[in-house]
Amino acid sequence: MHGASLRTLLDRYEPMSPESALAVLKGSLLGLAAAHAVGVIHRDYKPANVIVQPDGLSKLIDFGVAGLIGERFGGGTPAYMAPERWRGRPASPAADVYAATCVFFECVTGARPYPGTDRAELRRRHLEDPVPVEAVPEPLRPLLERGLAKEPAARPPGAAAFVAELERAASAAYGPDWEARGWGALGVATAAVLPLAAAALATGGAAGAATAAGTGTGAGAGAGAGAAGQGIAATTAAKVAITATTATVVATAGVGAYSVIAGEEPPAPTASPAPPLERVSLTTPALEQTITLPGRPALRIRDARYVQVSGLADRAVQERVNAALRAPLEEAVTGFRRYLVGEHPPGSAPQCAELGAEPRVRLGGPRLVSVLYRFTTRTCSVADEDPPGADAVTVDLSTGRALTVDDLFPDAASLDRLSDRLPPPDAARRECGYSPPLRPALFRPQRFDDGRTAAPQILFALTSTGLELQFQRSLPCPQGLVLTAPYDRIRDVIRPEILKKITLTPTPERS
C-alpha cells in the first residue's frame, strides 16, 4: 500500500475535522464489510492497521490475526476491544464495528474513548463506563452511541450497515460533498509525512523507517504496525515526492492541520519565548502529487510550494507553526477538488486539472511569520478564464497559532480609523473590491449555503514596516489591489501586543 498509517497521522496532528474522520472511517469500514461478507472478522482494527493514501482514501490492512465469525479466540489490541471480547464470548462483526468506532472517536477528539494505564483498568472501563458522547460534535453522537453500545445486538450488525448509517449522518450534518472535503485534507496531510519515512529508510534502514513513520509506538501498536511502516517507507518515493529548495528534505507535518482545514480553532497552546532571529530559517518545499478523481481528469499538483520553518527549540510548537503555514495550500487543494467533482455547465467541464502555488514571505521572524499565497489552477476549459486565487496567513512563532482579524484589530472602531487613513475609493479601486469602511467580516473566510468556503475578501499580511491589505482578484481587476499602511501611521489601530512582535530588522533569507 502507498500511504501513511492512520497512527502516523494521529501522532503528528491534532484531532481531525469531522469530515476527515468520517472519510477515514468509511474507507476502512468498506474493507471490513468485504471481510464480513465472507464470514471473516478482522479482530485487530486500530490506527496502525489503517493506511491513508495520497489521494485521501483509506484502506484496511493486516489480517494476520483474523478469524471466522463465531469462533472464540484471544488476541487483539486492548484499547479497542469490544466488551464481549473481554468476556471471552464468540466474536462477531459487531466487535469490529466497536473497534472502528473507538478509532473514529480518537480521530475526532485526539484521545481514546476509554483510556487506561493497565489491562485491568481498560477492561473495567470498556465494560462499565458510559459512552462518552459529549466529547464529539452533536451530529456524530448517534453514530458513537450505536457503535460503542455495550451489547453487540445494539450495534449495527456489520460494517456494511454501519457505512449506510455513516453516510446518512454525514450528508445530513456536513452536506453532500463532505467526503471530498475529507479526502482533500487527508491527501495533502498524508503526502506531507511520507518523505519522513523515506528519508529514514535511506539513512537508518527499515527499522528507522518504521520509527519515522510513527508506527509501532504507543499503546496498541503491535508487531504488524512496524511491518506496515517499513512497507510504506519502501514504496513512497515512486508515488509522492516533496522536494525542498535545500539539499535536505523538509516536510514537517504539523499539529492542528485538520482543525485549520475545517475552519476550527485548535486549543490555544501555552506561549513560550520565541528563539532569536538567527535560529529561525525558512524553506519553501514543493508538493508534487497526483490525485485520482472518479469520472474526472486526475488532479495534478505541480510545484505547489509552501513555507516551512525550522530552528524552533520547541518541536511541538514548530509543528503547529508549519501546519498553519501549510493550511492555505491544503484549503486550496480541497476547494479545487470540490470544484472538479461538482456539476459544470456545457463547455465548462474540466478537461484537465492542475494546481500550483507560489508563496511570498512578507515577514520572516523573529516572532511572526507572514505569507501571501498565489494559486494557479488549470482545467483546459473556459473556466480557465478565472483569475489566480490567493490566500494569506500570519503565524505566531511562540504558539503556532494563525492570527485572525480579531487578534489584529481590537474593535470595529479600529477598522474605521484604518479606513480613514487609506486612499479614497476611486472607480479603479472599487473594481478591485475596495469599498470602505472596512468590516471584520471581510477579513474572515467566506462560507456559502451549500457548505463551500473561500478565502476572505480582504487578505492581510504583516511586513517589517507596514500592514499590507490585498483585495481579492476579480475579473474586472485581474491583478488585484494591494494597499500598504505604514505602522507609524496606524499605531493606534493594531493591538500593541502585535506591534511588539513585529521586528524592524530585515527578515532572514530563505534557504
- Residue 446 confidence class, pLDDT cut points 50, 70, 90: confident
Grid cell, residue 213, equals: 513513520
The backbone region for 435, taken as left when phi is positive above 0, alpha when psi lies in -120 to 50, beta otherwise, is beta
pLDDT value of residue 229: 31
- Give the residue-averaged pLDDT of 223-228: 31
CA of 83: how far to CAs of 32, 89, 90, 106, in Å? 19, 9, 11, 18
pLDDT band at residue 368 using 50, 70 and 90 as cut-offs: very high
> 130-134, 146-150, 354-358, 419-423: lowest mean pLDDT where?
419-423
Confidence (pLDDT) at 356: 93
Mean pLDDT, the chain, integer: 75
Nearest in space to 22 (alpha carbons), one of 123, 163, 131, 134: 163
Position 189 pLDDT exceeds 60: yes
Continuous segment of H or E residues that includes residue 373: strand 368-378
* Cα distance between residue 415 and residue 421, in whole Å: 10
Q: How far is CA 378 from CA 185, 304, 429, 454, in A?
A: 20, 13, 27, 18
Higher pLDDT, 449 or 154: 154
Mean pLDDT of 256-265: 26
Please give the Cα distance from 54 to 217 (Å, whole number): 22
Q: Between 263 and 500, name the one with better pLDDT.
A: 500
Residue 502 has pLDDT above 50, yes or no: yes
Largest CA distance in the chain: 79
Q: What does DSSP say about strands 281-283 and 389-396: parallel, antiparallel, or unpaired?
A: unpaired
Extents of the domains making up the chain? 4-179, 241-501
CATH node for 4-179: 1.10.510.10
Radius of gyration of the chain (CA): 24
Mean pLDDT of 491-509: 72
Q: Peptide bond preceding 437: is omega within 30 degrees of 0, i.e. cis?
A: yes
Cβ proximity of 157 and 93 under 8 Å: yes
Model pTM? 0.50
User: What is the pLDDT at residue 339?
Assistant: 85
Give the pLDDT score at 421. Answer: 85
Grid cell 527499522 is found at: 207
**pLDDT tens-digit profile of 284-338?**
888 888 888 888 889 999 889 999 998 888 888 888 899 899 989 988 888 888 8
pLDDT for position 196: 42
Q: Of 410, 401, 380, 386, which Cα lies nearest the Cα of 491?
A: 410
What's the pLDDT tens digit per position in 267-280? Answer: 333 444 444 443 56
Give CA–CA dist 464/458, Å, rounded: 20
Give the integer Cα–Cα distance in Å for 309 and 457. Answer: 27
| Partner residues linked to 389 by β-bridges | 375
pLDDT confidence band for 147 (50 / 70 / 90): very high
Task: Yes or no: say if 365 and 208 are a contact pair by the CB < 8 Å rule.
Answer: no
The grid cell for 392 is 494569506
**What pairs with residue 241 in β-bridges?**
288
Range in 94-103, 375-384, 405-414 the model is least confident about: 375-384
- Do 296 and 353 contact (CB within 8 A), yes or no? yes
Model confidence at 451: pLDDT above 80: no
- Stated length of the chain: 511
Of 402 and 195, more confident:
402
State the sign of the Cα–Cα–Cα–Cα dihedral 158, 160, 163, 164: negative
- Residue range 390-427, pLDDT digits in tens: 899 999 999 999 999 899 998 888 888 888 888 887 77
Say which residue, 26 or 182, is predicted with more confidence: 26
pLDDT of residue 354: 92
pLDDT tens profile 103-140: 999 999 889 999 988 889 999 999 999 999 999 999 99
Check residue 392 and report its DSSP letter.
Answer: E
Task: Reduce the DSSP state of residue 227 to 3 states and report it.
Answer: helix
Share of the chain above pLDDT 90, in %: 23
Q: In 2-18, which positions are buried (b, 16+ CB within 10 angstroms) versus exposed (e)? A: bbbbbbbbbbbbbbbbb
3-state secondary structure of 260: helix
Average pLDDT of 93-99?
Answer: 93
